[in-house]
């Protein structure tokens, strides 16, 4: 955490400071920014003013856990001393950033409880969301992280190819294979590629693909048959410090292209065109003006709506990707939330439009990096049509 860089950002945004407040490690932004343990049992406040040294308000019994945190420490035991100390460190400040989401529209940063917000407002302070601070200082990738992501992306394409090959070879040899068998195979490949995942990966057939969060298990898994629609959702990262995930979804057809239903082709074409529109929108605008996550979602969704499938696209277009599959940066979303965070260099996110029906589901997913040379799709090649396995 670079205090001077944060203070420079506060100055640019005309903010008097950034106040991080937490209880029981519920404010993940504060915990990550300050590199704190997840086991905390008392409140703390950490204030970074636009000018001057930071100040930490920490309970007497937890001081040892904060020894590495820069700035002045003020210990407390009673809530009255805590409240007086907050008032003191904020004296002179008017506009303060906190992990707060106006109207709850962006709950990813709405991490401070309403009572604490009321208390700080009661001191005469105007509170604004720290969303762009978080996006700038917590979500942007380093050059090394970008490299780790690109390797992961290439590996996932290899895993996808081999998983489709396993399905094709098994069916050709009349060997039974299930969704779970494919998932277990992909996990074995992760290990061989020195990769790790937090969950999954996923292989979904037909109606199961119509459930975006379906997860097969050894006990509950469908047998893959000829002419089945197959969805592979694969995410993993390298087993190195601060490595970044890659995340892809590909569609396959366990038959010949000539046997593929025309309606399936139409539905996939719609989400493919929507995905490509998202990338084109980014490339058209990213170097000309500030672009927000919600705008990219709108551009994507318009294509699917125009195809008459809008009511079947039931989730956001994409999510931030970082050292966790779902990272702390801007999401591509104006459906589930209104993400008005700025897309900046170093931000990585998925673009994954999908349409879902009772009997089948369709999704395509790529990863997009706002890199030093512009907008980069890192998970190439792009899928342009459902992959026929025969």
Looking at the domain that runs over 3-137, which CATH code has it been given? 3.40.350.10
pLDDT tens-digit readout, 231-270: 999 999 999 999 999 999 999 999 999 999 999 999 999 9
| Residue recorded with tokens 């139409």 | 266
Is residue 213 pLDDT above 90, yes or no?
no
Q: Are 61 and 43 in contact (CB under 8 A)?
A: no
Q: What long-range pairs does 259-263 form, CB within 8 A, spacing at least 24?
A: 259/227, 260/386, 260/388
Exposed/middle/buried for residue 148 (C-beta within 10 Å: 0-12, 13-18, 19+) = buried
Q: What is the mean pLDDT of residues 170-180?
A: 97
Q: Are 368 and 349 in contact (CB under 8 A)?
A: yes
- pLDDT score of 257: 96
Is residue 125 pLDDT above 90, yes or no?
yes
| Residue recorded with tokens 């035991």 | 77
- pLDDT score of 162: 98
Beta bridge partners, 19, equal: 47
Q: Are 237 and 140 in contact (CB under 8 A)?
A: no
CA distance 94 to 120: 11
Question: How far lies 246's CA from each of 155, 164, 173, 365, in Å?
Answer: 9, 19, 32, 10
pLDDT tens-digit readout, 14-33: 999 999 999 999 999 999 99
pLDDT tens-digit readout, 47-69: 999 999 999 999 999 999 999 99
Those residues with Cβ within 8 angstroms of residue 11's Cβ, 6 or more apart along the chain or in another chain: 50, 51
Q: Are 233 and 363 in contact (CB under 8 A)?
A: yes
- Report which secondary-structure segment, H or E, holds 237: strand 229-238
Nearest to 152 by CA among 216, 82, 73, 244: 244
Those residues with Cβ within 8 angstroms of residue 101's Cβ, 6 or more apart along the chain or in another chain: 107, 108, 109, 110, 129, 131
- pLDDT score of 372: 87
CA distance 33 to 90: 20
DSSP 354-388: EEE-SS-EEE-BEEEEEETTEEEE-SPSPP-S-EE
- pLDDT score of 146: 97
Residue 174's pLDDT band (cuts 50, 70, 90): very high
Is residue 185 pLDDT above 90, yes or no?
yes
Q: Dihedrals φ, ψ of 8, to 5°?
A: -65, -40
pLDDT tens-digit readout, 154-165: 999 999 999 999
- pLDDT score of 1: 81
Q: What is the mean pLDDT of residues 219-228?
A: 96
CA distance 238 to 245: 8
DSSP 288-341: TS--BHHHHHHHHHHHHHHTT-GGG--S-SB-B-SSSSS-SS--B-SSSS---P
Q: What is the mean pLDDT of residues 153-179?
A: 98
Domain 143-388 -> CATH class: alpha beta
Those residues with Cβ within 8 angstroms of residue 249's Cβ, 6 or more apart along the chain or in another chain: 231, 232, 233, 234, 352, 354, 363, 364, 365
CA distance 84 to 197: 45
- Furthest-apart CA atoms within the chain: distance in Å: 76
Q: Write down the domain spans for the chain.
A: 3-137, 143-388
Is residue 302 pLDDT above 90, yes or no?
yes
> DSSP class of residue 215?
-
pLDDT tens-digit readout, 324-363: 999 999 999 999 999 999 999 999 999 999 999 999 999 9
Q: How many C-beta neighbours within 10 Å does residue 26 have? A: 14
CA distance 226 to 224: 7
Q: What is the mean pLDDT of residues 116-132?
A: 96
- pLDDT score of 315: 97
- pLDDT score of 205: 97
- pLDDT score of 200: 85
pLDDT tens-digit readout, 68-123: 999 999 999 999 999 999 999 999 999 999 999 999 999 999 999 999 999 999 99
For 180, the 3-state DSSP assignment is: helix
| Residue recorded with tokens 């805590």 | 82
């Amino acid at each position: 955490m670079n205090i001077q860089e944060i203070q420079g950002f506060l100055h640019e945004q005309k903010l008097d400071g950034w106040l991080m407040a937490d209880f029981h490690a519920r404010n993940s932004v504060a915990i990550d920014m300050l590199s704190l343990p997840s086991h905390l049992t008392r409140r703390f406040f950490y204030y970074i003013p636009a000018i001057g040294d930071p100040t930490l308000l920490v309970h007497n019994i937890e001081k040892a856990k904060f020894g590495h945190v820069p700035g002045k420490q003020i210990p407390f035991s009673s809530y009255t001393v805590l409240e007086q100390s907050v008032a003191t460190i904020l004296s002179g400040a008017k506009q303060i950033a906190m992990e707060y989401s106006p109207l709850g529209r962006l709950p990813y940063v709405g991490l401070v409880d309403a009572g604490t917000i009321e208390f700080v407002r009661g001191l005469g302070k105007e509170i604004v969301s720290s969303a762009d601070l978080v996006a700038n200082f917590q979500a942007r990738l380093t050059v090394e992280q970008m490299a780790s992501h690109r390797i992961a992306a290439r590996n996932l394409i290899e895993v996808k190819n081999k998983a489709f090959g396993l399905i094709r070879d098994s069916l050709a040899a009349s060997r039974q294979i299930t969704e779970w068998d494919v998932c277990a195979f992909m996990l074995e490949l992760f290990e061989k590629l020195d990769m790790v995942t937090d969950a999954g990966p996923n292989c979904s057939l037909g109606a199961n693909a119509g459930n975006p969060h379906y997860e097969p298990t050894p006990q509950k898994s469908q047998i893959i048959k000829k002419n089945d629609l197959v969805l592979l959702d694969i995410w993993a990262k390298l087993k190195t410090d601060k490595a970044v995930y890659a995340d892809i979804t590909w569609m396959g057809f366990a038959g010949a292209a000539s046997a593929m239903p025309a309606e399936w082709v139409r539905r996939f074409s719609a989400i493919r065109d929507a995905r490509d529109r998202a990338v084109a929108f980014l490339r058209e605008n990213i170097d000309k003006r500030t672009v927000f996550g919600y705008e990219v979602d709108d551009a994507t969704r318009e294509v699917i709506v125009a195809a008459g499938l809008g009511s079947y696209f039931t989730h956001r277009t994409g999510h931030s990707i970082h050292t966790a599959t779902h990272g702390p940066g801007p999401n591509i979303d104006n459906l589930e939330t209104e993400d008005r965070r700025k897309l900046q260099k170093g931000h990585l996110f998925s673009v994954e439009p999908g349409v879902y029906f009772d009997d089948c589901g369709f999704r395509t997913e790529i990863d997009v990096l706002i890199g030093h040379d512009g907008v980069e799709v890192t998970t190439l090649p792009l899928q342009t049509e459902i992959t026929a396995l025969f």
